[in-house]
Amino acid sequence: MLNEQIIDDIKKLIEGDVSVSVEDLETYARDTSLFYVKPQIIVFPKNKDDVSKLVKYVSDKKNQGLDISLTARSAGTDMTGGPLTQSVVMVFTKYMNHIIDVNKDFAVTEPGVYYRDFEKETLKYNWIMPSYPASREICAMGGIVSNNSGGEKTLTYGKAERYIKELDVVFANGETDTLKALNLEELEKKMKENTESGRIHKEIFKLVEENKEIIQKYKPTVTKNSSGYYVWNVFDRENDIFDLSKIIVGSQGTLAMVTSAKITGVAPKKHSRMLVIFLKSFHDLGAIVPELLKHKPETVESYDEHTFKIAMKFLPDIAKKMGGSMISLGLQFIPEMFAVLTGGVPKLILMAEWTGDDEEELKKIVKTAYEDMHRFPFEKEMIEDEHEAKKYWTFRRESFNLLRSKLKGYRTAPTVDDLCVHAKDLPEYLPKLQEIFDKYKLTYTIAGHIGDANFHIIPLIDIKQKDIISDLYKMMEEAYDLTISFGGTISGEHNDGILRTPYLEKMFGSEMENIFKQIKNIFDPQNIFNPNKKVNGTKEFALSHIDSK
């Protein structure tokens, strides 16, 4: 246990705030995962100097034999227990929530800035960061960097890693540096520095060079992945570029503390058109998704019948999110009501959206896709009004929030929430996945990025039910085995945390897991940053910290 002296020391050390109140400890013992892990101290740093001082202090105390560690947290929307700790949690949203610079080319942001506020500022210069997740209204930039987030536009624009150009970081000894792309001459100079950054660059470069065949062998081949460390992204051999920031992205705060990020983006297209398809069976996905992708939509998203029913039940909340009235929203749902009356509630609603600057050309593309879909016996609708399309996006983006906040007697249990395979394997993969779910008779919802074959499947459980956690884990492990057998990943976006770290050896093999451990040891030899995430996590710890409330 951390004593009063530690608390007093930290209070005197930093400009920010320190809390050990019962209310704060309870608040920061949870994220949106299955887990409850209670911290001992909450720190709200005011600036990067506070972060550096605190890291140095923790490092010194660890050298003296104290069991202490430091975990970063922004908005706490993580679904894996990533920002949960039994020691010190450092929360960025209170003070380190500034956009330091924004212009037509890039923005520099602190980790505690909410994405919704970040986008408002970048839109003034006609660009957005297109890898925002579905939780865009409640997530923060620190989490986007730490999880290598993706979302509805990832099919076309890729994940966060593509848009993060520089990272200001604090290393495990308290030293700071700006990590960015270096050419070989710059790298050579950096590796000769008598600094922590120089040492880390030198040792990671050596590790990558000595293990390049293994690293390449185990590089995920699906369109998106957030599991493991991004060691395959560090050295661009084709262009002779070495960029250590690439390994920090997606590392869940286990390697260094990020105090700011330089981010670029893309200009949003002027017009959009949507094609909505109402499927009667999940088995149909395997056939229809590859056909949709031939028409190159910007995104193909989905949500299932359970999400649809919950959204219809809580239409006032949806109307509020859309900024409209219940009457106007009800009128917009006449096509959906017709689909329900003629064929029952659809098992899955697919949303394919195209964007472009030429409206007439865009209409032609969507019309061609619509006509091509006539070969399938499903209800479908072309959405030409962008406000009408907003209702579908609101349903999709708010689906998890609705499930988490509105269901009485049930709770969300993110476990198989981020499976990702190759789109070509959907016809064979999906029926086998369905068999696993049917076997355990769990209630669940499906939403996600179907164009990327990335599924967000959320079981809904009564936590008090006998053997429910045991069944949940058995189902999860079978789903992981199946996904890995298809060359997929157990996490396309949401990362590893407490939940998935114990399964990384299963996914990557012992050779690659050993490389992950070496990476962690190079950056953080004392293991002070967010321990037992990415490496050394155990199923036993996870099961012993299930949130029973």
pLDDT bin (cut points 50, 70, 90) of residue 404 is: low
Residues 470 and 463: their CA atoms lie apart, in Å, by: 11
Sheet arrangement for strand 41-44: 17-19, 41-44, 88-91, 70-73
Q: What is the pLDDT of residues 175-228, one digit of tens each?
A: 999 999 999 999 999 999 999 999 999 999 999 999 999 999 999 999 999 999
| Direct distance between the N- and C-terminal alpha carbons of the chain, in angstroms, rounded to an integer | 24
Let me know: does 131 contact 162? Beta carbons within 8 Å. yes
What is the 8-class DSSP label of residue 37? -
The dihedral of CA 73, 77, 80, 86: what is its sign?
Answer: positive
For Cα atoms 285, 372, 427, give the angle at the middle one, nearest 5 degrees. 20
Domain 4-93 is of which CATH architecture?
Answer: 2-Layer Sandwich (3.30)
Share of the chain above pLDDT 70, in %: 92
Worst-scoring range by mean pLDDT, 79-93, 159-173, 219-233, 296-310?
296-310
pLDDT score of 335: 58
Let me know: does 17 contact 44? Beta carbons within 8 Å. yes
pLDDT score of 343: 55
Say whether pTM exceeds 0.75: yes
Take residue 41 and report the two structure tokens written for it. 């101290």
pLDDT score of 296: 95
Q: Where do the H-state alpha helices sit in 218-333?
A: 245-248, 285-293, 305-313, 315-322, 326-332
pLDDT score of 332: 60
Backbone angles phi, psi at 262, to 5 degrees: -95, 120
Helix, strand, coil percentages for the chain (3-state, nearest 5): 45, 20, 35
- Identify any residues that bridge with 70 across adjacent strands, giving them in sequence order: 88, 529
Say yes or no to pLDDT of 385 above 80: no
pLDDT bin (cut points 50, 70, 90) of residue 430 is: confident
Do the domains spanning 4-93 and 99-263 agree at the CATH topology level?
A: no
Backbone angles phi, psi at 267, to 5 degrees: -80, 130
The mean pLDDT value for 511-523 works out to 98
CA dist list (Å): 112 to 28, 130, 354: 15, 19, 32
The mean pLDDT value for 110-121 works out to 98
Residues 500 and 417: their CA atoms lie apart, in Å, by: 11
Closest to 421 in 3D by CA, of 225, 143, 144, 180: 225
pLDDT bin (cut points 50, 70, 90) of residue 402 is: low
Report domain 99-263's class.
alpha beta
Take residue 356 and report the two structure tokens written for it. 């472009």
Let me know: does 391 contact 326? Beta carbons within 8 Å. no
- Identify any residues that bridge with 180 across adjacent strands, giving them in sequence order: 166
Q: What is the pLDDT of residues 432-443, one digit of tens each?
A: 998 999 899 888
Closest to 128 in 3D by CA, of 312, 267, 300: 267
221 CB contacts (<8 Å, ≥6 apart)? 422, 487
pLDDT score of 326: 45
Q: What is the pLDDT of residues 355-366, one digit of tens each?
A: 999 999 999 999
Residues 148 and 164: their CA atoms lie apart, in Å, by: 9
Residue with tokens 């710890």: 541
Residues 381 and 400: their CA atoms lie apart, in Å, by: 25
> Cα 352 to chain center, whole Å?
21
397 CB contacts (<8 Å, ≥6 apart)? 134, 135, 136, 137
Question: 542: how many CB neighbours lie within 10 A of its CB?
Answer: 24
Q: What is the mean pLDDT of the chain?
A: 91
Take residue 223 and report the two structure tokens written for it. 């369109």
3 state DSSP class of 529: strand
Residues 444 and 307: their CA atoms lie apart, in Å, by: 9
Say yes or no to pLDDT of 333 above 80: no
- Identify any residues that bridge with 508 across adjacent strands, giving them in sequence order: none
Residues 280 and 378: their CA atoms lie apart, in Å, by: 7
Take residue 164 and report the two structure tokens written for it. 């993060």
Burial 263-278 (b: 16+ CB within 10 A, else e): bebbebeeebbbbbbb
pLDDT score of 403: 64
Let me know: does 11 contact 40? Beta carbons within 8 Å. no
Take residue 58 and report the two structure tokens written for it. 């923790």
3 state DSSP class of 549: coil
Say yes or no to pLDDT of 321 above 80: no
Helices 426-440 and 285-293, interaxial angle, to 10°?
140
The mean pLDDT value for 81-97 works out to 98
pLDDT score of 314: 66
Domain ranges, ordered by start, for the chain:
4-93, 99-263, 271-485
Tell which CATH classification among 3.90.550.10, 1.10.3720.10, 3.40.462.10, 3.30.70.360 matches the domain 271-485: 3.40.462.10
Residues 327 and 221: their CA atoms lie apart, in Å, by: 47
The mean pLDDT value for 128-153 works out to 95
Say yes or no to pLDDT of 95 above 70: yes
Q: What is the pLDDT of residues 247-272, one digit of tens each?
A: 999 999 999 999 999 999 999 999 99
Compute the chain's Rg from CA coordinates: 23
